[in-house]
Amino acid sequence: MPLVDLFTFTRAELTSPVQFCDGRWVVSDYDDVRAVLADPVTFLPDNALTAVTPVAPAALRALVRARFSLPPTLANNGSASHAGLRRLVASFFTPARVAAAEPRIRALVLERLGGSDLRRNDLVGDLAWDLPAIVLMELLGLENVDIPTLKRWSSGSLEFFWGNISRERQLELVDDVGDFHQWLIKRYHARDGELFCALADAGVSAEDSAGLCYFLLIAGQETTTQLLSTALRRALQDRSLWARLPEPGVAESFVEDVLRTDTPVVTWRRLTAREVVLSGVRVPAGAELVLLLSGKESDPRHLAFGYGRHFCLGAGLARLEAAVVLRTVAAHEPSLRLTGEDPEWLNLLSFRAPKSVTVAR
């Protein structure tokens, strides 16, 4: 069986719907992945946020000094506390609240399309990089957030926990990881923002609140940045599609196609609580599963936002942001074209996207 690099592999490289690669079992069949995500008793979410690369002792000591922890709250929570915490966070992502954000999203896009605002001629750096973070902070009622600092903390955390990185790189990133966590603890104790007030009023501890917000504030905007980057690049590769994006429903349909076959959240993880059989392959208890979320054209639906009790709470917001951004940019910049060579890509176990989308008017 050929070796598969879990950080760069494509579906075409997999030779079996359940394949053992570098100590992990890659599950790629749609029905298998859906069944795994639907059964949190047999397939535990406990490892969802565990660092892919074991944390080096020096980095671990730095995390201990920062009192860093990721207790079971949302993505990694298989306990009875999950439902209540999920309901609390879901109250910030109701369809009405998400829909109300559409004018703000459009206004942010138009600000960046005006004149010299496309200063780098890079739709990631000029548009997709910070827009989702601004929208998320406003939706969660978090004011006075330094967005560049948040983005540095967020991207560093993704690399720290999902990257194939050296001990030296861990030590370069660990201070930002710890600083982010400490910032969350301080805002909780200060009841600084609607989200932290809601958590405190519900009796959620500072540790649990920081753990919950740590991943929420990362996933709620970094993955949307990645979706925008991927979708903009793909759309600009098809001139006919780019011309049709302003038409009703076209952007929404295209976003679903990107999510189905080119989702930036390419994998997610689970642990087997007992021995199981998937696609005729016997997988032992305690096995780490890497679930392939990107699908084939023949798959009935996509699993880009997961499935079951851990389905992404921000799915509606991500869809809206992507459709509004695509439609607005295409309507105001019909002659925009890709330039330059193929971009550098973010290649983490669970996240992939182009780091730049260079364009010319």
Per-residue DSSP letters for 215-228? HHHHHHHHHHHHHH
pTM above 0.85, yes or no: yes
> Cα(294)–Cα(261) distance, rounded to whole angstroms?
5
pLDDT, averaged across the chain: 95
Q: What pLDDT digit, counting tens, does each position of 277-291 carry?
A: 999 999 999 999 999
Q: What pLDDT digit, counting tens, does each position of 316-330 carry?
A: 999 999 999 999 999
- Tell me how crowded residue 184 is: count the other CB atoms within 10 A of its CB: 21
Q: How many helical (H) and strand (E) elements, i.e. helices and strands, does the chain have?
A: 13, 11
Measured CA angle at 180 (ends 178, 185), to 5 deg: 95
When pLDDT is averaged across residues 257-265 and rounded to a whole number, the result is: 94
Q: What pLDDT digit, counting tens, does each position of 29-66 carry?
A: 999 999 999 999 999 999 999 999 999 999 999 999 99
Residue 207, pLDDT score: 96
Residue 3, pLDDT score: 66
Residue 361, pLDDT score: 83
How many CA atoms, within 13 angstroms, populate the side-chain half-sphere of residue 13? 13
Task: Tell me the DSSP string of 87-128.
Answer: HHHHTTS-HHHHHHTHHHHHHHHHHHHSGGGSTTSBTIIIII
- Positive or negative, the CA dihedral 21, 24, 25, 26 is negative
Burial grade of 104 (CB within 10 A; 0-12, 13-18, 19 or more): middle
Rg (CA), the chain: 20
Give the distance between the most distant pair of CA atoms in the chain: 60
How would you classify the pairing of strands 345-347 and 267-272? unpaired
Which letter does DSSP use for residue 230 in this model?
H
- Do 34 and 303 contact (CB within 8 A), yes or no? yes
Query: Which tokens go with 59?
Result: 């980095």
- pLDDT of 118 > 80? The answer is no
Q: Which residue has the tokens 């298998």?
A: 32
Residue 111, pLDDT score: 94
- pLDDT of 144 > 60? The answer is yes
How would you classify the pairing of strands 352-354 and 345-347? antiparallel
- pLDDT of 6 > 80? The answer is yes
Residue 18, pLDDT score: 97
Residue 1, pLDDT score: 41
Q: What are phi and psi of 22, to 5 degrees?
A: 50, 45
Burial grade of 192 (CB within 10 A; 0-12, 13-18, 19 or more): middle
Q: Which residue has the tokens 């910070």?
A: 130
- Tell me how crowded residue 262 is: count the other CB atoms within 10 A of its CB: 18
Q: What pLDDT digit, counting tens, does each position of 190-239 carry?
A: 999 999 999 999 999 999 999 999 999 999 999 999 999 999 999 999 99
Provide the pLDDT confidence category of residue 119 given band limits of 50, 70 and 90: low
Residue 300, pLDDT score: 80
Query: Which tokens go with 73?
Result: 């709250």
